[in-house]
Structure formats: structure tokens, C-alpha cells
């Protein structure tokens, strides 16, 4: 199905929910912070309601995504952000939790970096939309693709799907490391709707295939407009360098009128953050314009 266009913009009186997911390619140290800053500038201009970022790995990297008007959630560790996950929301985040996968990558193979990162999912409760926003990054199977790689990915997907049976309203986005049309994608869409599947599976030029997806459950919508944006090329110290090896995925959902949130015109986007959120498990911060 070719998605039809939806009026641009979000906020009071608007009938769309804009969701973005982007793998930030955080492991290479090469020009990391300028790349993150370029992604943040792009996000600032998109005015999305929800943003899921992966591979914001090292402690302090999250500060590069402090964007006016957004609440920010992540799970800090000693030197790295757990799972490398960062979620931005225009609406206040009531609570947040990071859940690591029980089965992690194989240290004897290319999955050693996945294991050290401790992959999992970051969930945020957003009362204004009455939904659970879930940011996820599954283990990669890599080009060597040995049997153990597939078993780890299969276990992680089963754990995630088992958890998501309970919540009634979910927006799920991230890097799943498998494409549409695969058996794993079939399992994923057995209880969730992939609203980004109208995009080309081959991905954008010079990027990974489309292994990043946005899915919803229990959300009343009438149409979905998808966009895939190739990474912008920056002038790096050793030549041109894209901001990521993944395209940015954006979905605008046209909502039923009953699904429109209320953004009070005179209420500030930022709100006091309860101290209980600033725990070892996850943190939430707000940026004001």
C-alpha cells in the first residue's frame, strides 16, 4: 500500500501523531559528537511527537540531544547508557523503565559488542496519549550469520512480544535488525501493526536495508504517511562522513478524532521531574525553549 499524504505539523487541534526512529551509529568514535549534533538539528526541525534513538551509547552522549520542548528519557550506567537507548517526547513522561534482554550476544563472535552494550528496551508511560512508548534495539546477526546469532535474536524477540501482550496501547520503534517479509517480522506483526512497512525494504542509498520499524497497537488511526531520509553527509576530518549508517524513519499517523491529545496553550512543555525518576534504572529530563 502506498501511504497517502497527511497534513504536516503536530500540536493542539492537529489530527496526526508523528513518530521518528533513528539508529545514531554510536560505536565509531570518528566524528561522533558532530554527527549527533547534525541528527539533533534535523530532529529539531521535524517537530515529532515521539523520537526513538538507538546507539546513544556513552555517558554524556545524551546531552547532544537536548532539544527545546522535549522530555528526554534514558537509562544511565557507569560509563555507557544501558542499551544505548534514548527517547524524546513532546508530552510529559510519567514513568520510565529499562528492561534488558535475558539472552545477550555471543562473546565468541561478532556479537561481542551487542553483549557489552546489554541490549533491551526502554519503555516510557505517556499519560497525555494514554500509551506506552517502547524503544528497542535487538541483537544483530551480522554478515557471518552463525546459528547462535539467530537463536539470540529469536529469544530477544520472544521476550519483547511476551511483554507487549499486556499493554493495551503501544507505540514501538527502533532497530530490529531484521527486514520486513522475514519470519521474525511476521511474528512481530501478529499483534502489532507495522505503520512503516510502506517504505522500500532496500533502504536508502548507502545505508543498511530497512531493519528499523515503527509499530502500533490499540491506537485508532485512519492513514499512515511514511518517509525515509538518507543521512546527511558531513565534512569529516578524513573526508565525507554520513551522520549514520541507517536512514531516519518517520511516520505520520492520521488519528481518529477521539485520539487527539489536548496540549494546553498556556501550559509549559517542561514540568517538574519527580526525584523518583532519577534512579539507577532510568532518568528523565526536560528541555525548555
Cα dist from 195 to 138, 222, 225, whole Å: 19, 11, 8
Would you state the pLDDT for residue 252? 96
Q: What mean pLDDT do residues 148-164 have?
A: 91
> Which residue range(s) make up the domain with 27?
16-286
pLDDT tier for residue 258 given thresholds of 50, 70 and 90: low
Residue 268 has pLDDT above 50, yes or no: no
Residue 77 has pLDDT above 50, yes or no: yes
Residue 93 has pLDDT above 90, yes or no: yes
Other C-beta atoms within 10 Å of 155: how many?
16
In a domain, 4, yes or no: no
pLDDT tier for residue 266 given thresholds of 50, 70 and 90: very low
Residue 276 has pLDDT above 90, yes or no: no
Least confident range from 42-51, 69-78, 197-206: namely 197-206
In a domain, 8, yes or no: no
Q: What mean pLDDT do residues 165-176 have?
A: 96
Closest CA to 30 of 244, 232, 248: 244
> Percentage of the chain surpassing pLDDT 90?
62
Please state whether beta strands 16-23 and 50-54 pair in parallel, antiparallel, or not at all (unpaired).
parallel
Cα dist from 211 to 53, 165, 196, 228, 284, whole Å: 14, 22, 11, 12, 27
Would you state the pLDDT for residue 260? 54
Q: 175-214: per-residue pLDDT in tens?
A: 999 999 999 999 999 999 999 998 999 888 889 999 999 9
Number of alpha helices (DSSP H) and beta strands (DSSP E) in the chain: 4, 15
Q: How far apart are CA 210 and CA 215, in angstroms?
A: 14
Q: How far apart are CA 45 and CA 80, in angstroms?
A: 28
What SS3 state is found at 272?
A: coil
Residue 286 has pLDDT above 90, yes or no: no
**What strand order describes the sheet that includes 95-100?**
95-100, 120-126, 131-137, 170-175, 212-217, 193-194
Would you state the pLDDT for residue 7? 35
Other C-beta atoms within 10 Å of 189: how many?
14
> Percentage of the chain surpassing pLDDT 70?
81
pTM of the full predicted structure?
A: 0.85
In a domain, 136, yes or no: yes
Would you state the pLDDT for residue 241? 83
Determine contact, residues 78/62, Cβ cutoff 8 Å: no
In a domain, 163, yes or no: yes
H helical segments located in the chain: 32-46, 112-117, 147-163, 183-188
Determine contact, residues 252/47, Cβ cutoff 8 Å: no
What integer best gives the mean pLDDT of the chain? 84
Q: How many domains does the chain have?
A: 1
pLDDT tier for residue 270 given thresholds of 50, 70 and 90: very low
pLDDT tier for residue 146 given thresholds of 50, 70 and 90: low
Q: How far apart are CA 161 and CA 232, in angstroms?
A: 33
Residue 237 has pLDDT above 60, yes or no: yes
Provide the grid cell at 139: 541483537
Would you state the pLDDT for residue 32? 87
In a domain, 10, yes or no: no
In a domain, 1, yes or no: no
pLDDT tier for residue 67 given thresholds of 50, 70 and 90: very high
In a domain, 91, yes or no: yes
In a domain, 2, yes or no: no
Residue 240 has pLDDT above 90, yes or no: no
Please name the helix (run of DSSP H) or strand (run of DSSP E) that holds residue 123, with its range, or none: strand 120-126
Q: How far apart are CA 96 and CA 284, in angstroms?
A: 8
Residue 264 has pLDDT above 90, yes or no: no
Q: How far apart are CA 51 and CA 90, in angstroms?
A: 9
Residue 13 has pLDDT above 90, yes or no: no
Q: How far apart are CA 50 and CA 247, in angstroms?
A: 17
CATH number at residue 232: 3.60.10.10
Amino acid at each position: 500500500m502506498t501511504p497517502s499524504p497527511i497534513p504536516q505539523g503536530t500540536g493542539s487541534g492537529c489530527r496526526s501523531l508523528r513518530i521518528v526512529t533513528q539508529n545514531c551509529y554510536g560505536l565509531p568514535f570518528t566524528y561522533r559528537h558532530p554527527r549527533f549534533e547534525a541528527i539533533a538539528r534535523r530532529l529539531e526541525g521535524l517537530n515529532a511527537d515521539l523520537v526513538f534513538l538507538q546507539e546513544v551509547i556513552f555517558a554524556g552522549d545524551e546531552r547532544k540531544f537536548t532539544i527545546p520542548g522535549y522530555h528526554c528519557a534514558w537509562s544511565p550506567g557507569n560509563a555507557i547508557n544501558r542499551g544505548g537507548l534514548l527517547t524524546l517526547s513532546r508530552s510529559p513522561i510519567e514513568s520510565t523503565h529499562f528492561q534488558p534482554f535475558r539472552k545477550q550476544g555471543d562473546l565468541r563472535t561478532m556479537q561481542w559488542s551487542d553483549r557489552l552494550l546489554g541490549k533491551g528496551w526502554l519503555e516510557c508511560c505517556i499519560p497525555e496519549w494514554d500509551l506506552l512508548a517502547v524503544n528497542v534495539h535487538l541483537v544483530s546477526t551480522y554478515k557471518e550469520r552463525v546459528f547462535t546469532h539467530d537463536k539470540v535474536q529469536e529469544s530477544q524477540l520472544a521476550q519483547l512480544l511476551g511483554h507487549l501482550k499486556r499493554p493495551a496501547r503501544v507505540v514501538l520503534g527502533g532497530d530490529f535488525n531484521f527486514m520486513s517479509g522475514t519470519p521474525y517480522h511476521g511474528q512481530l506483526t501478529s499483534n502489532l501493526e507495522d505503520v512503516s512497512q510502506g517504505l522500500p525494504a532496500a533502504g536508502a542509498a548507502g545505508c543498511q536495508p530497512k531493519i528499523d520499524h515503527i509499530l502500533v497497537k490499540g491506537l485508532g488511526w485512519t492513514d499512515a504517511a511514511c518517509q525515509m531520509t538518507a543521512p546527511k553527509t558531513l565534512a569529516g576530518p578524513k573526508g565525507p562522513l554520513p551522520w549514520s549508517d541507517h536512514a531516519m524513519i518517520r511516520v505520520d499517523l492520521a488519528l481518529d478524532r477521539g485520539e487527539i491529545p489536548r496540549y494546553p496553550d498556556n501550559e509549559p512543555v517542561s514540568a517538574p521531574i519527580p526525584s523518583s525518576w532519577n534512579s539507577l534504572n532510568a532518568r528523565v529530563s526536560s528541555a525548555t525553549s
